[in-house]
Amino acid sequence: MIESFILQASSYASQIDALIWLIVIITGVWFFAAEGIFFWLLWRFRARPGGAPARYIDDHEEHVLKYKWIEIPHRLILVCDVVLIIGAITVWSDIKLSMPATDETVRITAQQWAWTFQHVGPDGQMDTEDDIVSIDEMHIQVGKTYKFELMAKDVLHSFSVPVFRLKQDAIPGRVITGWFQPTITGEFDVQCAEICGIGHGIMPARLYVETPEAHAAWLANPTHYLAYKF
């Protein structure tokens, strides 16, 4: 469903899309069944000249019908709900509750109305001299697992990468961690998905998922990012 609109570029994108498919199928069956019965009843019991009048359903008959109209569907929905909940919580736990072994850290800071990305330098350590800071551009390598540290300087923002199916609000005063693993190379949108003031609509960033060679080339040419270094 979602994959036909937008690429899957992270290890867990297909998991989320599969969950969405599951929901589409289960709710779709219920939806079309309910609407089908609804419109059929409207057609079948429409008033017409010479047609049958409405039939009074007394307490006894109502009690019998309740089983068919309410109690059976009630139990079936409960079963469907359990399936949906198991699916939802499984996906949620894999993405948001677990933290796999990560190869590298990237620090993401949101502010009105720009993104700052702090990448580790050649030494592979965060907060050392050779860290690379870029504005509105995030450069990562395909296949590596990244831990992100998400912060906000002023108001709430939300780090959203649709191709990754990743979204996480950033809160001033907190460091929120999470992870992602890009699976294909390319250039993708980063959005701010939480309203953050009059510039909310002009707070895009670009995500560059690169092969190790291309990433090394970016690292080797400091003119790309040196201007931002603080």
Partner 1 sequence: MAQSHAHDDHAHGDHHEEGWFLKYFWSTDHKMIAKQYLLTGMALGVIGAYFAYVFRMQLAFPNKPVPGYGLVTGSDYNALVTNHGAIMIFWVAMPVLIAAFGNFLIPLMVGCDDMVFPRLNRLSYQIFLISAIVLVSSFFVEGGAFGGAWTAYPPLSAKAEYNLTPLGPTLWLAAVALEFVAFLLGGINFVTTAMNSRAPGMRALDLPMAVWMIVIASILFMCSVGPLIAGAVMLMFDQTIGTGFFDPDRGGDPVLWQHLFWFFGHPEVYVVLLPPLGFVAEIITTFSRKRLFAYKTVLYTTIGTGILSFFVWAHHQFIAGVDPRMSNVFSVTTVLISIPIAELCFVYIATLYAGSISFRVPMLWALAFIAEFLVGGVTGIFLGASGADIYFHDTYFVVAHFHYTFFPIAIIGTFAGVTYWYPKMFGRHMDETLGKIHFWVTIAGFNGIFIPLFILGAAGDHRRIFDYSNFPELASPELQAMRVFATVSLLVMLAVQPLFAWNFFRNMWKGKVAEANPWNANTLEWQCPSPPPHGNFNPMPEVYRGPYEYSQPGRADDFWPQNSPT
> What angle separates helix 72-92 from helix 13-44, to the nearest 10 degrees?
160
What letter does residue 51 receive in the DSSP assignment?
A: P
Shortest Å, Cβ 139 to partner 1:
17
Is 106 an interacting residue with respect to partner 1 (CB under 8 A)? no
Beta bridge pairs of residue 138: 207
Distance of CA 139 to the CA centre of its chain: 21
We find the least distance from the C-beta atom of residue 68 to partner 1, in angstroms, to be 9
CB of 216 to partner 1, least distance (A): 25
Binding mask of the shown chain, residues 201 to 230, with x at each position contacting partner 1 by CB under 8 A: xx-x--------------------------
108 binds partner 1 (CB under 8 A): no
CB-nearer residue toward partner 1: 17 or 210:
17
Question: Integer distance in angstroms from the first to the last C-alpha of the chain?
Answer: 44
Alpha-carbon span 109 to 170, nearest angstrom: 8
Pick the closer one to partner 1 by CB: 132 or 158. 158
Given a contact cutoff of 8 angstroms between Cβ atoms, the answer to whether 48 and 30 are in contact is no
Binding mask 158-197 for partner 1 (x = CB under 8 A): x-x-xx-xxxxxxxxxx-x-----------xx-xxxxxxx
Q: How far apart are CA 123 and CA 168, in angstroms?
A: 28
Is residue 15 within the footprint of partner 1 (CB under 8 A)? yes
